[in-house]
Structure 1
Amino acid sequence: MHQRVAKPEPEQKPTAAEAAARPLVIRSGDRPPERVPVILESLGAGDFHLIDSGNGLKLEQYGPYRVVRPEAQALWQPSLGPHVWEKVDAIFTGDTDEDGMGRWRFPQAALGETWPLSLLGIEFHGRFTAFRHVGVFPEQIVHWRWMKEQIEATERPLKVLNLFGYTGVASLVAAAAGAEVTHVDASRKAIGWARENQALGRLDKLPIRWICEDAMKFILREERRGNRYDIILTDPPKFGRGPNGEVWQLFDHLPLMLDVCREILSPKALGLVLTAYSIRASFYSTHELMRETMRGRGGVVESGELVIREAGLDGKTPGRALSTSLFSRWVPK
């Protein structure tokens, strides 16, 4: 079961037409109460912190390396001087669009493609990718801490579903805390990276299913099979493609995805967490969608933004808050 990329049975895969034909469930009952706006803030954790930001850039510390990457929301001037910003290990240059391609420049010395990092007690590989990402989205730390606390505080074994799971850090956090985890991502490269991270931390025996598949097809099949999960994390991209060319468009497909996610929540579920990264929308758009989706289920929906606060060179000096993502989270209260 462990260290295996699970493949669904071909005859049980819904076709694109079948997926499109699954109608939204007509919900009744009251919408859950709301908590808005909620700002979930991180000052960093483990081997990561945001040193400074400004002029459309951010200066970050990832383990031993100082990294400069584009950040369109950093409209202000940097707090630290050029002598700090120029003494860095890696700079991403190229397309400033979130999913745009570019290249890394290494001012001090040539660096290897990967290096070890640690967050919340989980070891994993950082990697300089052509899409400016380095293998972890540190703003998610606040969700991972919440999930870890839920798992550790619950006496019964929990099942966690991590959709668009990327390099598996959240899956490893959940499994190390005691959950049985199903990790889904459409990229074989990301699944391979996630398994490398599992091996790096010597966590090979943790109960994780690594599944390379289109997320929508997977949850539709789970719904038909009657499989249920206690915590669902979903961090969908604005646009993406499945392993067989399936197209994902956030604004077109998110209502159905959340609708199916509600159906596969267990009766005693502890949370459904949605993060929307780098989209032009208000958190109210996902907030009201989540409330409509969870109509009649009780609980509460809390929505707002994930922010990372600058922490200075020492990692302990609070500065300005940099907004990174919108989120909506349903919890049973």
Structure 2
Amino acid sequence: MKKKQTRQEPSSQKRASAPGIKRDHGHKPASHAKPAGQKAQRPAAREEARPQASPVAETRPLIVRKGELPIERVPVILESKGAGDFHLIDSGAGLKLEQYGPYRVVRPEAQALWQPSLPSHVWDNADAIFTGDTDEDGMGRWRFPKAALGETWPLSLLDVDFLGRFTAFRHVGVFPEQIVHWSWVKEQAEKADRPIKVLNLFGYTGVASLVAAAAGAEVTHVDASKKAIGWARENQTLARLDRAPIRWICEDAMKFILREERRGNRYDIILADPPKFGRGPNGEVFHLFEQLPLMLDVCREILSPKSIGLVLTAYSIRASFYSIHELMRETMRGAGGVVESGELVIREAGLDGKTPGRALSTSLFSRWVRK
């Protein structure tokens, strides 16, 4: 970050985890994936090879909503030109060339159907190139043409320091297309006349949570990957936000929000970045198309009376933004406000980070905001 609660990343996670797993969108790695190089164990007996039943997903009936549908704004294109230590240099031929701090990185990008703008010698001069499975959730390896690089390196976005990380799932510990959402949360927190409460579901390595906390919000960060939570805590220390009001919760996202609903806990802003598919810490299975309606339904119930917004990002290529747009409008029926939906894109910025180029589509989004 595309899941993913985490993205099947080393887990976000990236985007994947399950209802508490994060993205990547096909962006988030799946939390149940095996580490690179680890071989599956062969069952000792035929009986052991039988698939184990997954835990029954906690659920409840959907609430029948009444009242007027929120105003709609479609299509909305939210564009990032980069921020801090990140910008998209070039893209094409199924790849993207990005700048992350001191490093130029090449990663697969199926949406880049055109040809690169910059000459091949620029691409060949990259510091890190991901090779292997080109599927978003596929594992592979990093090649370092110039010199061997460490697993992590320092980065900064929106004035928050954190660690970039080369993972076996092509992800680097942050999903920069989300900068536009993080900037919006930052703005809402800074202009509020009170500490607002933010819930970050499928929170991955915590950059969104740290941006919100640095702006004065009280944050609850949920991800199904223990490893991703550990990374997020590392980032908290690097960002010098150890005393910030952040709760780190390693749990299945759906279980967590259903419990919050029963307890009567409420949030002013909810960020949800679910994976297409993932597993929670206890084997809970999450399927985006099956569980998204209930997830949004519960999220509405745990929005505070003075809530500010509910933000959903989806990386599933089977969906249209209109699908999640209409679902969000139905979910927020009677709540007033506006539902705006469309795509997140990143604009190429060239080698200097200042030369606008083509827009690379990264994901779908739908956002309810109070007027």
What range describes the TM-score normalised by the shorter chain of this pair?
Answer: over 0.9
Does residue 1:19 correspond to 2:61, yes or no? no
Query: Is the CA contact (8 Å cut-off) linking 2:55 and 2:285 kept in structure 1?
Result: no
Amino acid at match of 2:85: D
Check the 8 A contact 1:219/1:260 in 2, yes or no: yes
Quick one: percent identity of the two aligned structures?
A: 86
Confirm whether residue 103 of structure 1 aligns to residue 148 of structure 2: no
Give the count of matched residue pairs.
Answer: 318
Of residues 244, 253, 270, the one that matches 1:232 is 270
Distance 1:42 1:183 in 2: 24
Structure 2 counterpart of 1:12: none
1:273 has 2:306 as partner? no
Mapped contact 1:278–1:324 kept (Cα < 8 A): no
Which is richer in helix? 1
1:197 counterpart residue number: 235
Whole-angstrom distance in 2 between the partners of 1:139 and 1:239? 20
Task: Deviation per CA, 1:56-90: give whole Å up to 9, x if none.
Answer: 00000000000000000100000000110100100
State whether structure 2 residue 84 is matched by structure 1 residue 51. Answer: no
Which residue of 1 is the match for residue 181 of structure 2? 143
Deviations 1:76-113 (A, max 9, x none): 00000011010010000111111111000000000000
Q: 1:69 to 1:296 in 2, by over 3 A?
A: same
TM-score with structure 2 length normalisation? 0.85
Structure 2 residue 313 is matched with structure 1 residue 313: no
Structure 1 residue 280: deviation in Å? 2.1
Alignment TM-score, normalising by the size of structure 1: 0.94
Unaligned runs of 5+ in 2: 1-53
Q: What's the CA shift for 1:278?
A: 4.2
- Which deviations, in whole Å up to 9, do the C-alpha atoms of 1:202-244 show, x marking residues without a partner? 1100000000000000000000000000000000000110000
Aligned match of 2:363 = 325
Q: Deviation of residue 281 (structure 1)? A: 1.3
| Contact 2:97 2:104 (8 Å CA) reproduced | yes
1:92, 1:18 → 2: CA distance?
35
Q: Following the alignment from structure 1 to structure 2, what is the Cα–Cα distance between the partners of residues 206 and 93?
A: 38
Residue 101 of structure 2 corresponds to: 63
Aligned counterpart, 2:289:
251
> Which of 29, 35, 47 does residue 67 from structure 2 map onto?
29
- 2:15 maps to none
The Cα RMSD (Å) is 1.0
Q: How does 1:135-214 map to 2 (within 5 A)?
A: 135-214=173-252
Which residue, out of 319, 325, 328, partners 1:287?
325
Contact 2:73 2:341 survives alignment (8 Å):
yes
2:87 and 2:349 in contact (8 A); partners too = yes
How big is the shift at 1:201?
1.4
Deviation per CA, 1:232-260, whole angstroms, max 9, x where unpaired? 00000001100000001000000000000
1:122 to 160, 182, 186: 160
Contact map agreement 1:238 1:279 (CA 8 A) in 2: no
Aligned to 2:338: 300
1:94 is matched with which residue? 132
Question: How far, CA to CA, are the matches of 2:270 and 2:120 in structure 1?
Answer: 43
**2:58 partner SS:** helix
Question: What letter is aligned with 2:193?
Answer: E
Is the alpha carbon distance of 1:16 and 1:223 closer, same or farther for their aligned partners in structure 2, counting shifts above 3 Å? farther
User: Residue 57 of structure 2 contacts residue 285 of structure 2 at CA under 8 Å; is this kept in 1?
Assistant: no
CA distance in 1, matches of 2:197, 2:279: 26
Q: What is the distance in 1 between the residues matched to 2:84 and 2:153?
A: 14
Q: Distance in 2 between matches of 1:303 and 1:229?
A: 21
In the aligned structure 2, how far is the partner of 1:40 from the partner of 1:16? 38
Is the contact made by 2:162 and 2:207 (CA closer than 8 Å) also made in structure 1? yes
